[in-house]
A and B are shown apart, each in its own frame.
Chain A
Amino acid sequence: MSELLTDNGRFDRRKLVAYLLKRRGEALMVGGLGAPTWDLAAADGDDRADGNDCNVYLWGGMGLACSIGLGLALAQPTRRVLVVTGDGEMMMGIGSLATAAAAAPGNLAILVLDNQAFGETGKQAGLTAGPTDIARMAEGAGIAAVMTLDAPGDLPALETLLFDEPGPVLAVAPIALTNDPLVLPTNNGAAMAARFRGALGLRD
């Protein structure tokens, strides 16, 4: 599975997310502001061009992806909820890991795509380019199981963690800082929310 790596030895975000989404099954997804949302839209592939009904696509609300995932996971305890977000987005809401750890929904998984930069705003260095380690912060917050994806050989363990192990769980995936073609889901938040809720059979 070394084809998921880029030349610099870090993972290709689009290939990694597409690889993992093959395993999603009935999982509900939350894409964090910016590139993770475009990654989800790109990986939807054979779904509608404007996105998958069971994905929450965030174009704003930086720092809140994990909190949205927590509320959703508690409300839908029989569905796996996978939050895919970036290192900067996670750092802004880092305290929400403590909240999620205390609430301890068994169906919540968080994947942090860590390119050590604010890729959407000009590739300014992020804090994880320095001494900061989100995986260790998650452990300190009390997240039940945490891993860092060090090599392609860890991918089976990553899939098991994200989709099968009792949550809340968190994984950090070191990804390359790349220029990927924009693949944009709908930016109509009300329409996106209505179709997501509709897919769950919710009204009002």
Chain B
Amino acid sequence: MASLRAAWAVMTGADWSAAVHAVFRDKAIRQIGTVPDAGLTRLLELCTADNAMRVMTLTREDEGVGLVTGAWFGGERAALLMQSSGVGNVINALSLPSIMKAPCLMLVTMRGQWGEANSWQVPMGQATPGVLEAMGVTCYPVDRAEDVGEAVSAAADMAFKAGVPVAVLIGQRVIGSKAFEAGTDKTADSGEGAL
């Protein structure tokens, strides 16, 4: 029954992380660079447990653009997974896929957006699509969990077949906003979101 429930969750999109992991397997993504985000927790766990993928924790998100470009030079597919605040760290690095006509698949979990309680997340979160588009990145914003897998599949096809940078922006409505409760030992989440 448990596996049936899990399969149903994937089919209906309720478990978007499992859907994306299945897409990564299908598209032969071998290298994953990330500065983690709470919204990426389950997807990163699934990828880490998968022997076909190598998950690498980065110090800064721009390393990930170098990593995916180097992987492509060597014939492997790679992806960069980050929070929207990390998009601010990759701007100049995005020159690489642009100038080399190289694929650059990015998954961005959004903050500063739907029900955000932390004002510090708002400036970069609101600027994220504009910053990416200014650097020539095609953005696929997704606000429903059941659409995430399909969007990542389409983004991977575009990135790897057309040789362009593409970012899937996974909305805060999907990952859940977060409530900050003063006096508690940790922040309370309405979804998966965290700092």
Q: Does B7 contact A (CB under 8 A)?
A: no
A60 touches B71 (CB 8 A): no
Does A1 touch B at the CB level, under 8 Å? no
Q: Is the CB of B57 within 8 A of A71?
A: no
**Chain B positions 85 through 96: 1 when the CB is less than 8 Å from some CB of chain A, otherwise 0:** 000000011011
Asked whether A75 lies within 8 Å of B59 as measured between CB atoms, the reply is no
A111 on interface, CB distance cutoff 8 Å: no
- Is A64's CB within 8 Å of the partner chain B? yes
A25 to chain B, nearest CB (A): 17
Q: Is the CB of B31 within 8 A of A71?
A: yes
B1 at the interface (CB under 8 A from A): no
B75 touching A67, Cβ below 8 Å: no
Tell me the minimal C-beta distance from A198 to chain B in angstroms. 11
CB atoms of A62 and B75 under 8 A apart: no
Contact with A along B53-75 (1 / 0, CB 8 A): 01011111011111111111111
B186 within 8 A of A: no
Cα–Cα distance between A64 and B78 once the two chains are bound (Å): 16
**Quick one: which of A74, A95, A102, A197 has the most chain B CB within 10 A?**
A74
List residues 85-121 of chain A with CB under 8 A from any CB of chain B: 93, 95-96, 98-99, 102-103
Is the beta-carbon distance between B69 and A68 smaller than 8 angstroms?
A: yes
Q: Measuring CB to CB, which residues of chain A are less than 8 angstroms from any residue of chain B?
A: 28, 30, 56, 60-76, 93, 95-96, 98-99, 102-103, 189-190, 192-193, 196-197, 200, 202, 204
Contacting A95 at CB < 8 Å: which of B59, B69, B73, B76? B59
B99 at the interface (CB under 8 A from A): yes
Cβ contact within 8 Å between B63 and A99: yes
Chain B residues, Cβ within 8 Å of A95: 58-60, 63
Known: A64-B93, A67-B63, A68-B66. A75 touches B99 (CB 8 A): no
In the complex, which residues of chain A have a beta carbon less than 8 angstroms from the beta carbon of B100?
A: 189-190, 192-193
**Interface hub of A65, A72, A93 (most chain B Cβ within 10 A):** A72
The count of residues in chain B whose C-beta lies closer than 8 Å to any C-beta of chain A is: 35
Rounded to whole Å, the gap between the CB of A64 and the closest CB of chain B is: 3
Whether B66 and A103, one on each chain, are in contact in the complex, defined by CB atoms closer than 8 angstroms, is no
Q: Which residues of B contact A72 (CB under 8 A)?
A: 70-71, 73-74
Q: Tell me, in angstroms, the Cα distance from A202 to B74 when the chains sit together.
A: 8
Complex Cα spacing A71 to B58, Å:
12
Q: When chains A and B are docked, how far (Å) is the Cα of A102 from the Cα of B54? A: 11
Q: Is the CB of B99 within 8 A of A189?
A: yes
A70 touches B67 (CB 8 A): yes
Within 8 A of A (CB), among B127-153: none
Interface residue? B160 (CB, 8 A): yes
Within 8 Å CB of A76, what residues of B?
A: 74-75
B29 within 8 A of A: no
CB pair A74 B76 closer than 8 Å: yes
Counting from the closest, the 7 A-B pairs by CB-CB distance are A71-B70, A75-B74, A67-B66, A95-B59, A64-B66, A189-B99, A75-B76
Q: List, in ascending order, chain B residues with CB within 8 A of A192's CB.
A: 100
Interface residues in B24-66 by Cβ distance below 8 A to A read: 30-31, 33, 54, 56-60, 62-66
- Residues A67 and B67 in contact in the complex (CB < 8 Å), given A75-B31, A193-B102: yes
Q: A71-B74, A74-B71 are in contact. Are A64 and B63 (CB under 8 A)?
A: yes
CB distance from B70 to the nearest CB of A (A): 3
CB of A190 within 8 A of CB of B101, answer yes
Contacting residues, chain B, for A70 (C-beta < 8 A): 56, 66-67, 70
Assess the B73–A67 pair: CB atoms within 8 A.
Answer: no
Query: Is there contact, CB below 8 Å, between A197 and B66?
Result: no
B92 with A61: CB separation less than 8 A: yes
Complex Cα gap A54–B116 (Å): 48
CB pair B56 A103 closer than 8 Å: yes
